[in-house]
Amino acid sequence: MRTMLSITLDTIPILIAPHPILKAKAKPVGKADDATIRDLAAKMLASMYLAPGIGLAAPQVGQLLRLITIDLMPDNKPAPITLINPEVVALADDLATREEGCLSLPGQYAEVTRPARCKVRYLDLTGARKEIEADGLLNACLQHEIDHLEGVLFVDHLSALKRNIIMRRLAKEQRQKRDDDKRR
């Protein structure tokens, strides 16, 4: 179903770690960016669905803007959320651990421990100020995507040993993919 949604929409290539933009801090979106942001958000959602994934931050598509898109596809139906200038305003004291992956680290997964709940303030595509409180998968997704806006990847929450293993494995898989593509 996710692929069908993206066929008619433009997509943007997703950057793969260790691309330097992924480690840079994104700048706030201003009013002058309205039309650009709507277009970028639509392309980000299309790229996210095609990948397939459940969240994408603008730096992952080479745009250092504070913009994220999320769609957990409840009941297998699209329910996209676009968050402009999101900021975490509250985090729970208790922690939760879940397996995370990332479209910028394809095929790589690890257990990440984060606060179990969060409250995020943001602007929607109409410019309305909103707040969302989340736990479970949405909580992890929000924190993960907002981390991208700060130049933080999920592997940065791991020990140096685990992070290095994942990054070496990713580099090896990407080299193998390039070699395979050259042979075709």
Confidence at residue 139, expressed as pLDDT on a 0 to 100 scale: 98
Residues in the chain: 184
Mean pLDDT along residues 11-35: 93
Alpha helices in 52-96 (DSSP H): none
CATH number at residue 30: 3.90.45.10
Which one is catalytic: 131, 133, 145, 150?
145
Q: Is 6 a residue whose pLDDT tops 50? A: no
User: How crowded is the C-beta side of 105, counted as CA atoms within 13 Å?
Assistant: 23
Q: Catalytic annotation on 100?
A: no
70 pLDDT above the threshold of 60: yes
pLDDT tens digits, 17-27: 999 999 999 99
Q: What is the mean pLDDT of residues 29-43?
A: 88
In DSSP terms, which residues pair with 110 in a beta bridge? 100
Range scoring the smallest mean pLDDT among 9-13, 37-41, 62-66, 139-143: 9-13
Maximum CA extent, the chain: 52
In this prediction the pTM is 0.92
Q: Kindly tell me if the per-residue pLDDT of 71 is higher than 50.
A: yes
150-169 tens-digit pLDDT: 999 999 999 999 999 999 99
* DSSP codes of every residue in 49-64: HHTT-SEEEGGGGT--
Domain extent, residue 161, equals 2-183
Q: Which residue has the higher pLDDT, 7 or 40?
A: 40
Q: Is the dihedral of CA 90, 33, 150, 52 positive or negative?
A: positive
Q: Identify how many contiguous H helices and E strands the chain contains and give both numbers.
A: 4, 7
Joined together, the tokens standing for residue 148 give: 């991208």
* Of 33, 88, 90, residue with least CA distance to 63: 33
H or E element, residue 98: strand 95-102
Number of domains comprising the chain: 1
What's the average model confidence in pLDDT over 108-136? 97
Of 101-105, 144-148, 177-181, the least confident: 177-181
| pLDDT computed for residue 35 by the predictor | 84
What mean pLDDT do residues 127-132 have? 96
Sorted by sequence, the CB contacts under 8 Å of residue 37 that are 6+ apart come out as 29, 65, 67, 84, 125
Kindly tell me if the per-residue pLDDT of 47 is higher than 70: yes
pLDDT given for residue 9 in this prediction: 61
